[in-house]
Structure 1
Amino acid sequence: MALTIHVLDYGDIELEASFFVLGHNCGRVRRVPVYGFLILGGAYPVLVDTGYRDNAIMESLNMRGLQYHDNMIENQLAKHGVKLGDIRYIMHTHLHIDHAGKDDQFPMNTTVVLNRREMEFSVSGIMYPQYPKPDIIHLVERIYEPEAVRFLDLELTGAEEIIPGVWCEPAGAHTEGSMNVIVETAEGLACICGDVIYDINDQIIDHVRVNNWMEPQVTGNHSSTKRAEKAAIKKLLNNYTFLLPVHDRPARVEHGQVVGRPGMTVPGPMVETLPKRDWFPA
């Protein structure tokens, strides 16, 4: 049975717009979704990211959380016939406040898969308070429970397989330990790329405030160099058929360019398409 990826809606957040695209729409408030991803079709369900803990915790970053009953993780999973205890692995693209806030709702025999460098980075004090104390302390507690955590060393090993058809690779951007989750689908390789890309339109299609051909724009929130972030985005565009960021709708890629925006199941029907270089609303 082919693997499929289902997008989970964990609610929205409101924040200053230039957080997403460097120097773009400074001072304006922007509302964006927070997505997780459920991978089905393997021996057991696998989850990528768990969203943010609650609306109140987003205030620590001067952001507004907009999470309602339907967005609760148990309700999002239930739409696909999955319970919390059914999840075998939780993989995190990284551990920022909007990605790892619900891990403590899962039993200790659900293994959380982390890049070890991201765990180290989360307690370094760099990019604080994007790594909130209750989320990170829970992950530290998991270290002392058998099989509750699986650490990857992606900078040294390269790709590591989690289940057949699903593996992790170092992202090389956003945070020092960010990783991409690659899924082999019937229609091609899909990459869940976390926050390496925030905005498909403004960073890649229209690439605002960038002059050179096929040169992606960087985000306003990264700990890597601008060159490293650009290179990480180019790598995504040149290696995968589907790109799934956490704060924007998926994109389909051919020959290094975005050619469409799929529905919210990947692979799924192409509900919209793009002529080359034409603007597409985010």
Structure 2
Amino acid sequence: MALQIHILDYGDIELETSFLVLGHECGRVRRVPVYGFLITGGEYPIVVDTGYRDNAIMESLGMRGLQYHDNMIENQLARHGLRVGDIRYVLHTHLHIDHAGKDDKFPMNTTVVINRREMEFSVSGIMFPQYPKPDIKHLIDRIYEPEAMRFLDLDITGAEEIIPGVWCERAGAHTEGSMNVIVETAEGLACICGDVIYDFNDQIVNHVYTNNWMEPRVTGNHSESKRAEKGAIKKLLNNYTFLLPIHDRPAKIERQRVVGRLGMSVPGPMTETVPNRPWFPV
């Protein structure tokens, strides 16, 4: 059975647009989704990212959480006939407030997989309060339980396999320890790329405030250099057939261009297409 990726809808958040795309529409409030992903068809079911803890915790960043009963991780998994105890691995692209808030819902015999550099970065204070105490403290508690945590050393080892057809690699963008999750699907390689990309239209298709040919726009929320951010986005566009960020719908990529957008699973039918043209500034 081929591997498939299903979107888990954890609700929405409202935030300033310039947080998503550097310098774009400062002061405008925008509502964006918060997704996680369920990988099925392999040796074990895998969840990638678990969303934010609750609506109130988003206020610590000056954002508004819009999470309802249907968005609870238990209910999202139930749509696919699974319970939290059925999940063998939880992988984290990184540990920001909207990515690792529900890990304590999973039993200790579910292994949480993190790039070790991200764990170190989360307690450094550099991007506080994007790493809230309840989430990080739970992960520290997991370190002391047998097999409850697996650390990857992606900056040293390169890619590391989780199960056949699923592996992780260093993202090189957004946070110092961010990682991408690669899934081998029947229609090509899919990359769950966390927050390396926030918004396909404004960063890549129309790449606002950018004149240079095929030059992506960086996000307004990163700890790496702008050159590193641009390079990481270009790497994604060069290497993968499908890209799945956390705050935008998945895209299909051909020749470094976004050619279509997908629905709630990958592979899956394209719900809309994007004209196959060069990137033009607006």
The whole-number CA distance in structure 2 between the counterparts of 1:31 and 1:268 is 25
- Which residue of 2 is the match for residue 72 of structure 1? 72
The whole-number CA distance in structure 2 between the counterparts of 1:215 and 1:256 is 11
The whole-number CA distance in structure 1 between the counterparts of 2:169 and 2:222 is 18
- Which residue of 2 is the match for residue 107 of structure 1? 107
The amino acid that maps onto 2:44 is Y
- Which residue of 1 is the match for residue 34 of structure 2? 34
The whole-number CA distance in structure 2 between the counterparts of 1:5 and 1:231 is 26
Q: 1:275 offset after TM fit, Å?
A: 1.4
Q: Deviations over 1:7-44 (max 9, x none)?
A: 00000000111000000010010100000000000122
Q: 1:70 offset after TM fit, Å?
A: 0.3
- Contact 2:214/2:278, CA 8 A, preserved across alignment: no
The amino acid that maps onto 2:199 is D
- Which residue of 2 is the match for residue 272 of structure 1? 272
Structure 1's unaligned 5+ residue stretches are none
The whole-number CA distance in structure 2 between the counterparts of 1:257 and 1:58 is 33
Alignment root-mean-square deviation, CA: 0.9
The whole-number CA distance in structure 1 between the counterparts of 2:156 and 2:115 is 11
- Which residue of 1 is the match for residue 4 of structure 2? 4
The whole-number CA distance in structure 2 between the counterparts of 1:162 and 1:75 is 25
The amino acid that maps onto 1:182 is I
- Which residue of 2 is the match for residue 174 of structure 1? 174
- Which residue of 2 is the match for residue 141 of structure 1? 141
The amino acid that maps onto 2:47 is L
- Which residue of 1 is the match for residue 258 of structure 2? 258
- Contact 1:96/1:130, CA 8 A, preserved across alignment: yes
The whole-number CA distance in structure 2 between the counterparts of 1:128 and 1:161 is 31
The 5 A counterparts of 1:50-89 are 50-89=50-89
- Which residue of 2 is the match for residue 213 of structure 1? 213
- SS of the aligned residue for 1:227 comes to helix
Note if 1:185 corresponds to 2:185: yes
Note if 1:239 corresponds to 2:247: no
Note if 1:125 corresponds to 2:125: yes
- TM-score of the two chains, using structure 2 as the length reference: 0.98
Q: Deviations over 1:196-225 (max 9, x none)?
A: 000000000000000011100000000000
Q: 1:278 offset after TM fit, Å?
A: 8.1
Q: Deviations over 1:216-243 (max 9, x none)?
A: 0000000000000000000000000000
Q: 1:124 offset after TM fit, Å?
A: 0.2
Q: Relative to structure 2, which stretch is displaced further, 263-272 or 79-88?
A: 263-272
Note if 1:153 corresponds to 2:153: yes
The whole-number CA distance in structure 2 between the counterparts of 1:277 and 1:66 is 36
Structure 2's unaligned 5+ residue stretches are none
The amino acid that maps onto 2:148 is A
Q: 1:271 offset after TM fit, Å?
A: 2.2
The amino acid that maps onto 1:235 is K
- Contact 1:39/1:46, CA 8 A, preserved across alignment: yes
The whole-number CA distance in structure 2 between the counterparts of 1:277 and 1:62 is 38
The amino acid that maps onto 1:200 is F
The whole-number CA distance in structure 2 between the counterparts of 1:273 and 1:55 is 34
The whole-number CA distance in structure 1 between the counterparts of 2:17 and 2:93 is 22
Q: 1:104 offset after TM fit, Å?
A: 0.4
- SS of the aligned residue for 2:141 comes to helix
The amino acid that maps onto 2:189 is L
